[in-house]
Amino acid sequence: MSTAKLRILFAGESWMSHGMHMKGFSSFETGYYEEGWAPLREAFAAAGHEVTYLPNHLAGEHFPMTVKELSTYDVVMLSDIPADTLLLHPDTFLRGQRTPNRLRHIAEYVQAGGGFLMIGGYMSFSGIQGKANYHFSPLAEILPVKMFGFDDRMETPEGTTPRAVQAHPILDGIPAEWPHFLGYNRLMPAEGEVILECQGDPFLAVRKVGQGRTAAFASDCSPHWAPMEFVNWAYYRAFWNQLAQWLAGKI
């Protein structure tokens, strides 16, 4: 297994919750900010990778605006962050100004040798009610899967287990028996290779694009789709590290 130390840009996996509590005649409101990438952050830290994290509310303004900026990273990862967050910079949405298409720049970054991963979730791929909205984006041209363009969630509260359909360096040392998952984004095979599948659907797919590489992981990196059985799995860290190493061209 490669021990290369990578520079990773990770965007998404955060949300704000607004609750109303009604107690008889009176009510009050509460608000919370939460992040869902702690297990993955710990996995990358254990491997010695340098990770720049942009939560959803900061990514819209602070995600790199040029291919040159992106090229300072070995791998770019998006997880549970809708396309509009990166398409509608405040200068465009609020002030009517032209700004770079950052999804197009990610595609160009990959063509030039970068690695790109999309991790599943309610705001990944097509997403809940189609609101993730990547199916017509430039990323559709480089991902190893095709998206449906409408609500693509496969909720499996009873649990469903992926299985390997071919050997691959990403799975070296990873046992054939995986933990169950509680849901995933339903995708279709495209150019590239399907490595894991679930209920006949691609679960992990990879692709070489130009000088770079892309991957699609159809489920989440943390609850709820990814249960604690996956997060606490003895091979959780090894899997994510080897996936990152492959995307960076190190294995």
What is the average pLDDT across 95-104?
A: 98
What is the average pLDDT across 8-21?
A: 97
E-only strand ranges, the chain: 7-12, 14-23, 26-35, 50-54, 75-79, 115-119, 145-146, 153-160, 163-164, 181-185, 188-189, 193-198, 201-209, 212-217
Look up tokens 């609500």; give the residue. Answer: 151
Given a contact cutoff of 8 angstroms between Cβ atoms, the answer to whether 134 and 83 are in contact is yes
Q: Is the pLDDT of residue 71 over 70?
A: yes
pLDDT value at residue 3: 86
State the chain's mean pLDDT as an integer.
98
CA distances from 182 to 92, 140, 185 (A): 37, 25, 11
The CATH number of 7-247, from 3.20.20.70, 1.20.1090.10, 3.40.50.880, 3.30.70.20, is 3.40.50.880
Q: Is the pLDDT of residue 47 over 80?
A: yes
Q: How far apart are CA 100 and CA 86, in angstroms?
A: 10
Tokens of 123: 């705001």
Q: What is the pLDDT of residues 159-203, one digit of tens each?
A: 999 999 999 999 999 999 999 999 999 999 999 999 999 999 999
Q: Say what the pTM is.
A: 0.96
pLDDT value at residue 1: 65
pLDDT value at residue 157: 98
